[in-house]
Copies of this chain bind each other. A is one copy, B any other.
Amino acid sequence: MSFLKFTPRKLTGPYSTHAYRYFSRPITTNRPHFPCVEAHAVRESQLRQTTSSSLSSSVSRNPSSASGPEPPYARPNPHSYHVYHDPAPLELTYGSTLPSFDIAYETWGTLSPERDNVILLHTGLSASSHAASTSLNSAPGWWEKFVGPGKALDTNQFFIICTNVIGGCYGSTGPSSIDPTTGNHYATNFPIVSIFDMVHAQFRLLDHLKVDKLYASVGCSMGGMQSLAAGWIHPERVGKIVSISGTARSSPSAVAMRYAQRSVLMADPNWNNGFYYDGLPPHTGMKLARQIATITYRSGPEWDLRFGRQMRSLPEQTSDKPRMPALCPDFLIETYLDHQGEEFCLKYDANSLIYISKAMDIFDLTASSLAANQLMPPPSASSTPTLSSSTAHKTSHSKSHPPPVNPPPHLTDLAEGMRPLSSIPTLVLGVQSDILFTVEQQREMADALRMAGNERVSYYELGGVWGHDTFLLDVLNVGGAIRGFLS
């Protein structure tokens, strides 16, 4: 891979700090040039400089003071969160074992003397434990508006714990961690992890903190999967379950969209089969992957309202001649995707993206899948009471939302698998404009829980145009449903 020579020139305007706004000097006068493509080489060049200088200096302890685009996950700041180190092995779903592991976590609120007010908050794919600002880290968290006094997760009442998941890169053990048995980064020697493994590690932390039972297990997106998995593994230790825009089994279209992301990432030569920690990260593949992901996080109707067919403004634009379209980002929707990709591509570890997105794909609470993975015994007609859609329901809520009359086989299979969740009050909330965790999957989850005999399923669908990202934005409706359910 060879790179062009650059003469960076900073332009003004939105996103002016991003690399593709630097225009190169054309190599030959007859050939067009493409700032959006050259941006990858600019970033690579900057990374080379930073990598070579950081190799000869000590690791910065304060990410905010660090200069250059060195990935922040490569500069962990353990002063901004707690780390629980468990020296004992963690056995994983697919037969491997982590010899020991770390879990990064943060807390909000006060643990009651009875230790009965704990909410375990699960994150989406790429989030850290920093759900909200703390005394250790004043930066706003990813759910800042939902965690605090009087908020959806009310810190006047609850003690909230949020962890970085196993497989992640923000302080918990993941592919970028050092394998204690070799002294090298795990890279793609890291074992395949499942949503169940993430939750097992979280309960080891809860054991350490002497928390026997959660008041509630709460999560959004992938966190919704973990929230269900927590109740599934330890029904007696989970008081309530909240799943916001989650699913009990990933759909083929969600797998497809994550597969497309993994494909572009793994095709980046810098990915190097996952062994890039001593060199340059696959920043281009990460940018391209994030652009695809961003398409799945919002909705077309939102973009219609927000961007429509507006184009970015050009310094040289005049009104007396037609604007020449560019092959690089031109419409605002394109600059938006470019911006999202650029912002993310050095913030998160590529291997973590691959492993955790895979964990989401393979999550499946149907009885047949659980049995195939030896997570529960195969269903047998004699030992298993027959599921019925005509089960009597006691609460008025359940009466008004009975299970389906003639459920399709996959729904019966799912209800069978979700039986361990039958006595845990569960909030299922989904968004009609979500194309990643579709509303059909929310209905399926609620139906399966009810078929499994759960009489305390609260189910909400939200409208609006924010798609999957609604859980990050809609404090009024998402926050209100959670607050009501937890109180």
Contacts and interface: CB of A to CB of B under 8 A. Distances in A.
Given A253-B303, A322-B93, A322-B94, A327 B260 contact: no
A410 B308 contact: yes
A374 B303 contact: no
Interface string A286-308: 00100110010001100110011
A177 interface: no
Nearest to A335: B259
B95 A321 contact: yes
Nearest to A3: B269
A235 B251 CA distance: 46
Nearest to A364: B309
Nearest to A375: B322
Given A354-B327, A372-B322, A333 B256 contact: yes
A267 interface: yes
Interface stretch (A26-34, A165-173, A210-218, A448-456): A26-34
Contacts of A468: none
A324 B266 contact: no
Interface in A218-255: 249-253, 255
B337 A259 contact: yes
B192 A252 contact: no
Interface in A409-437: 410, 435
A377 to B, nearest CB: 13
Contacts of A304: 251-253
Contacts of A374: 321-322
Contact of A188 (B31, B266, B361, B373): B31
A205 to B, nearest CB: 25
A322 B253 CA distance: 24
Contact of A256 (B288, B321, B334, B364): B334
A273 interface: yes
Interface string A179-199: 000000001110010000000
Contacts of A364: 309
Contact of A331 (B255, B269, B292): B255
Interface residues of A, number: 75
- Taken together, the copies of this chain in the complex come to 2
B372 A33 contact: no
A209 interface: no
Question: Which of A37, A95, A262 lies at the interface centre, i.e. has the most chain B CB atoms within 10 A of its CB?
Answer: A37
Nearest to A341: B263
B259 A308 contact: no
A94 B37 CA distance: 23
Contact of A273 (B31, B93, B435): B31
Contact of A260 (B249, B295, B303, B321): B295
Nearest to A351: B327
Contact of A257 (B32, B295, B373, B410): B295
A309 to B, nearest CB: 6
A348 to B, nearest CB: 17
A255 B31 contact: no
Contacts of A329: 259
A303 B253 CA distance: 7
A34 B327 contact: no
A312 interface: no
Nearest to A182: B30
Contacts of A327: 188, 192, 262, 266, 354-355, 358
Nearest to A33: B273
Contacts of A435: 300, 435
A89 interface: no
B32 A251 contact: no
A144 to B, nearest CB: 27
Given A189-B30, A267-B284, A288-B264, A259 B333 contact: yes
A79 interface: no
Contact of A252 (B187, B249, B303): B303
Given A188-B32, A251-B304, A40 B260 contact: no
Given A1-B1, A325-B362, 7 more contacts: A31-B273, A36-B263, A192-B324, A251-B303, A255-B309, A267-B284, A331-B361
17 contacts: A1-B269, A32-B189, A32-B273, A34-B188, A37-B273, A94-B324, A192-B325, A192-B327, A251-B304, A255-B334, A259-B329, A259-B337, A260-B295, A309-B364, A322-B373, A323-B373, A325-B361
